[in-house]
Structures are given as C-alpha cells and as structure tokens.
Amino acid sequence: MSATVKVHGMDGTLVEPDWPPLMLAEVRALLTHFPTLGEPIEILSTSPRPLSAAGVVSTSSGRIFIKRHHRTVRDAEGLVEEHRFLAHLLAHGASVPRVFSSTTGQTAIEIGDWTYEVHETPTGVDLYEDAISWTPFLTAVHAHSAGQALARLHLAAEGFAAPARKPQPLVASFTIFAAKDPNVELERYLAARPSLASNAAVRVNCKQALQLLAPFHAQLFPLLPSLPPLWTHNDLHASNLFWSDFTDNAQATAIIDFGLADRTNAVHDLANAIERNIVEWLVLVADPAHPDDVPIHLDHLHALLDGYESVRPLAAEEAAALAPMTALCHAEFALSEAEYFLAVLHSKENAAMAYDGWLVGHTRWFRSAAGRKLLHAVESWAATHAPQKVGKP
C-alpha cells in the first residue's frame, strides 16, 4: 500500500485507508471484462472517501472511474440494485454517470473478495474532491444549484418501482420512523442485522435515540401518507456533485455516488441534503459539550430550498414534513454505519462513534438551541406553503 494514500477519518482528519488502494495490475485484470474501454495506462487519482477504494484511471480509450468494494459490503446483487436505478435516471434525462457493462452484460464484477463497478467520468470538474462530508458549501450559489440538481433527480426518479433494498451495510433507508410504532420497526431492523441486535451498547443508544426523536416522529407521522415512495440518492453533499468550473458561481453538472440510495421519499432526500450540508457536525465531534457553538448556514439552507423549488415545488404537506424529517433522517444511516464497523471492519471504536456520536449525538443536538434554530428556520420557510397544523416537539 502506498504510504501517500490517505482517506477521510471519522473526525475529519486524514488517516490510513481501511481498504488497499487500487493498483494498476488489478485494474488491468478487471478491464479484460471491458475490452472496449482500452488498456489502463495510469491511476490518475485516488478517492479520499473511506468506505471503499476508488479512483480515476486513464486508459488508451479515455478516462474511467473504478470503484472496488469488499463483498461483505456490496456483492454483485447489491450493486445491481444501484445500477438499475442509475439506468432509469439516465433514461429519464438525469445527469448521472453511466455504468459500463462487461462483455457478458454485467455491471458488477466479483473477483475474489471484491466487487467492482466501472463508470464513465461525469461532465464537469470535481470542485469538492477534498471536502470532508458534513462540511458546508463554499457559496450560496453552489447550494442553490445543488437544490436544483436534486429536484431534477427526483423528477427523473418517478416511475422507478423497484422495491426497497435488501439489508446490507451503508444504506440510508427509511423504515423505522416510517412506521406507526418505531420501537416495533426498530426491532425488525435490528433482527435483520445480527451484529447490531447482539450489541448491548447499540441497544442502549437506540433506546435513547428513540426517546429523543419521539416528538419529531409524532409531528411527522400524520404527514407520511402525503409522502409518496420514491427511490432517492440519500447522500447529496457538495462532494457528490460535479461542477461546471472552480468559481464561486459554479453550477452542478452531475450527481455521483449512489451507494446510499434506497426507496424512501423526496422529503427524506431533501432533509438529508440539509443535514449533510447545512450543519458543521465536525465542530460537534471536536467539542460535544458545546452543541450551541456548532455553525449552521441558514443562507445556504434557503438557497438550497429555493433552488429545489425552482424545479420541483413542494406540496404543503411535504413542506410541513421537512423539519421533523431533518431531525429523523440520519438515524438509519448511523445504524447502518455502525453495522459496517461492527460486522465488516470489527472496529468497536468507530462503531461507537456511529451509534453514540452520530445516532444519539446528532439526535441530542436537534433538541439543543442550535438545533431548534435550524428546525425553526425550516418551519418558517414551510409556513409559506400553508402547511397542515401538527404538534411540535
């Protein structure tokens, strides 16, 4: 493994990768399944994202993007779920990368312990290539364009009727708080994930999170019938977009990385975009004793929402659901990330950051003065849509 390869750690620092970086010899072996893509010449860049190994590769036919997963994280069946969604999006005009098929028609290739996928490189530039997740947009113009891109994606996603994904690590599903009784649905969620179900600390933290989130669920539940199911991205942060240029006025040109995609709803996806980009969570990691010091970017919030609605205006009930959904949307991904650390990497320390720091810590923050300020800003924006009257937490 090259000593120069670093990836983003849980606290935002650069750390050694959990997975070995792509090597030219393995890329050459992989591309024998894709002869039209040419011979690999050089690995031009290595992704700093920590949950897989990926990079841009120069070949005799151009540039491609290759991503390698451990099969315990994504087997071929799990990747094909994402690829079918991407194919639908492309067919309906969304700006997303094409996934290449092998000579036998496969888009997910299993070799040994690994599963590979090969994508075209999107139009545009990777403006946020080095940005850590949960860090803000550089400008409100970027936030506005990201909102437009997400809305266009939702319009393209309509009609994709695949069922929800099978249980697997690192998927941002929405089942626990979509149920009338989250406690019952949580038990079902845990039962499908033995590494979580058997962990006493996970169960303690889940109980705390459910108690803290109960008022938000009570606010959301009456509105759920008005949120039609939709396959969604669930991880729209600035670094999962390509951009027109490197300026403050750059426009989003493509959405990438559909690893967290699942059948949720448009409000869940928009709430995730707020949660990912508007709150500087790494400040909370560094100083959890002072939640009110965590910066929130309300100018970017309003730009994101205005951009979204310039393409796909929200119905009144969708707007009313956005604030409670923003407080709830992180829960299942936090648990899914904990499963990844417990079942795949066997890292109790990182798992604790997921189920304690992310699940409970972020939940508790939404009950702080800073969290209430963010949710009040979303509620005030939603009030312009004449939302239904529901109880507030």
Whether residue 90 sits in one domain with residue 191: no
Whether residue 183 sits in one domain with residue 82: no
Please list, in sequence order, all residues whose beta carbon lies within 8 angstroms of the beta carbon of residue 63, skipping any fewer than 6 positions away. Answer: 44, 56, 57, 121
Whether residue 146 sits in one domain with residue 97: no
> What is the DSSP annotation of 192-230?
T-HHHHT-HHHHHHHHHHHHHHHHHHHHHGGGGGGS-EE
Task: Give exposure, 186-208, as e/b (b: 16+ Cβ within 10 Å).
Answer: beebbeebebbeebeebbebbeb
Is residue 324, in this structure, part of any structural domain at all? yes
Return the CATH number at 146.
3.90.1200.10
Whether residue 209 sits in one domain with residue 313: yes
Whether residue 81 sits in one domain with residue 112: yes
Is residue 359, in this structure, part of any structural domain at all? yes
What is the domain range of residue 74?
7-120
Which of 70, 92, 120 is a domain's end point? 120
The predicted-structure confidence for 194-204, as pLDDT tens digits, reads as follows: 999 999 999 99
Whether residue 212 sits in one domain with residue 72: no
| In the chain, beta strands by DSSP E | 7-8, 14-15, 40-46, 53-59, 62-70, 109-111, 114-120, 229-232, 241-243, 252-255, 262-265
Is residue 67, in this structure, part of any structural domain at all? yes
Whether residue 108 sits in one domain with residue 144: no
Rounded distance between C-alpha atoms, residue 359 and residue 67, angstroms? 28
Q: What is the mean pLDDT of residues 141-156?
A: 98
The predicted-structure confidence for 216-239, as pLDDT tens digits, reads as follows: 999 999 999 999 999 999 999 999
Whether residue 311 sits in one domain with residue 271: yes
Whether residue 93 sits in one domain with residue 166: no
Q: Are 135 and 269 in contact (CB under 8 A)?
A: no
Q: What is the pTM of this model?
A: 0.94
Which of 65, 89, 120 is a domain's end point? 120
Is residue 240, in this structure, part of any structural domain at all? yes
Is residue 134, in this structure, part of any structural domain at all? no
Whether residue 79 sits in one domain with residue 29: yes
Is residue 2, in this structure, part of any structural domain at all? no
Q: How many domains does the chain have?
A: 2
Which of 120, 150, 165 is a domain's end point? 120
Q: Which two tokens stand for residue 202?
A: 């996970």
Rounded distance between C-alpha atoms, residue 278 and residue 133, angstroms? 11
- Supply the pLDDT for residue 133: 77
The predicted-structure confidence for 243-283, as pLDDT tens digits, reads as follows: 999 999 999 999 999 999 999 999 999 999 999 999 999 99
The torsion angles phi and psi of 112, rounded to 5 degrees, stand at 60, -130
pLDDT at 12 over 70: no
Return the CATH number at 27.
3.30.200.20
Task: Give exposure, 54-77, as e/b (b: 16+ Cβ within 10 Å).
Answer: bbbbebeeeebbbbbbbeebbbbe
Q: Which residues pair with 64 in a beta bridge?
A: 57, 120
CA angle, 328 then 144 then 321, to 5° = 25
Task: Give exposure, 136-167, as e/b (b: 16+ Cβ within 10 Å).
Answer: bbbbbbbbbbbbbbbbbbbebbeebeeeebee
Whether residue 223 sits in one domain with residue 101: no
Is residue 193, in this structure, part of any structural domain at all? yes
